[in-house]
Structure 1
Amino acid sequence: MDKELHPSVKEFKNFIQQHPHLIKAVRQEEYTWQELFEDWYLLGEDDPRWKNEGTSKTENNEKKEEDSKLSIGQITKILKNMDGNQLQQHIQQLSQAIGAVQGVLTQFSQSSGQNGAQSSGAQQAKSNNPFSFRKD
């Protein structure tokens, strides 16, 4: 390593030493050194991203999961506030919509099945004679 590093690389190394959480993020494979260097080079040292990087992506994901989980008390509160008749109406409407989609799909499958039977009959006629060559 007799070569001198580029000045921007030296600056980046100093920057990384001031932000050890970025080293952890690279070791946890959340970022690569190349990604961090490019972001640092484009955004600069004063970008708010570097201050918000105190928590890693995995820590942020864990916090989001905890926030998104409903406790049993919250679920029972929601169920108490539900109107059973409205819920029944919504379920019936959903069931009717699913039935309509199924009806359309069966119509398409029947029509394609008839077209497929016609085309397969023509293919069978061709395949009956294994030596059907065309003349030039």
Structure 2
Amino acid sequence: MGENMEIDDFKAFVRTIPSVKDDVVSGRYTWQQLYEFYVLYGENDKMWDPYKKPQMDLSGILDIVKNVDLNALSKSFDGIQKILDLVSGFVVKDDQKPQQKQWYDD
């Protein structure tokens, strides 16, 4: 009975890291090897880290956006805008220098 519980736990764990399937399909591991590793070392072993790298999905993006400090972001954009205005002011001044008349400009 304990083994069935471990298999169910392993299946649930593997569903959280769908990229592990690629290594099984490519022949790097078999499901049996992964299951044995899971039973021996657990789901927190470093072996699983490459499979746990964050995958950006809509809910992940929404969580990031939800936690953004809009006031700080607004101040950052204001600062960037000021820098761009300053730089563009120099560029415009350079372009508006009076041109020296050439002998053919009558």
TM-score, normalised to structure 2, is 0.44
Question: Which structure shows the bigger proportion of residues in helix conformation?
Answer: 1
Higher relative contact order (CA 8 A, sep 6+): 2
